[in-house]
Structure 1
Amino acid sequence: MHVSVVGNTDDSVVVTVRGNLDIDSGTSLTTTLDQVLDRPAPRIVVDLSGIEFCDSTGLSALVIGHNRAAANGGWLRLAAPGEFLERLLDTVGLTPRLAVYPTVGDALTGRSAD
């Protein structure tokens, strides 16, 4: 798995994740999210377009990140999940709880596809 971070001029951050998000690689995402969440009112978009597989470890990292961002007056939004991950988020009941957007741009602006 590969994780990269890009900061934007408006202080939002895009965390891009590629590969498998599972028990073997989830620590990389958790460590990265810990770093970007350690600021006041964090605004984070997690680009999931490159995720091929995700297990409960990956889902947990996303939920914990969302909770921490909200507790600090910010947000964590998910962007561009593939069909597998979108179905998984829906099946486990996370889509009503986590903000999921079709693109990174939509997630940055908060525009829904509806």
Structure 2
Amino acid sequence: MYVFLAEEPGAVVVTVRGHLDLDSAPSLAAKLDEALSKPQPRVVVDLAGVEFCDSIGLSTFVVGHNRARAGGGWLRLAGPGEFLERLLDTVGLTTRIGVYPTVADALADRPDGTAG
């Protein structure tokens, strides 16, 4: 798995590629810790390159989301593939954490990917 952190205007984008599972989730958790250490953290997790995610990966999103909210900010998920989007919906995370079609939509808070 590959995890990369990038500053964007008003937010930090955490890009994840590959498999997100028991072995790799600690790498994501470390990057999220870094991004969430700021006051009122605003974090977008780019999932476009995630091929697989297990329950440990999902719990990393929940912990990050809870920590961001506790700090007065937010965590949003962007660009999940069909498998991951279905998984997020099945476990009920789409009603708890904002899921967006693209990073740009998440940064602009456009859940349906429309302009405006």
TM-score, scaled relative to structure 1: 0.96
Matched, 1:57 2:94: no
Give unpaired runs (5+ residues) of structure 1. Answer: none
Measure the CA separation in 2 of the matches of 1:93 and 1:62. Answer: 12
Cα shift at 1:111: 1.1
Could you tell me which runs of 5 or more consecutive residues in structure 2 were left unpaired when the two chains were aligned. none
Q: Return the offset for 1:53.
A: 0.3
Other-structure match for 2:97: 98
RMSD over equivalenced CA pairs, Å: 0.9
Does structure 1 residue 27 correspond to structure 2 residue 26? yes
How many pairs align? 113
Give the 4+ runs in structure 1 shifted more than 2 A: none
Distance in 2 separating the partners of 1:12 and 1:94: 21
TM-score normalised per structure 2: 0.95
Q: Which residue of 2 aligns with 1:43?
A: 42
Does the CA contact (< 8 Å) of 2:64 and 2:75 recur in 1?
yes
Which residue type is aligned with residue 2 of structure 2? H
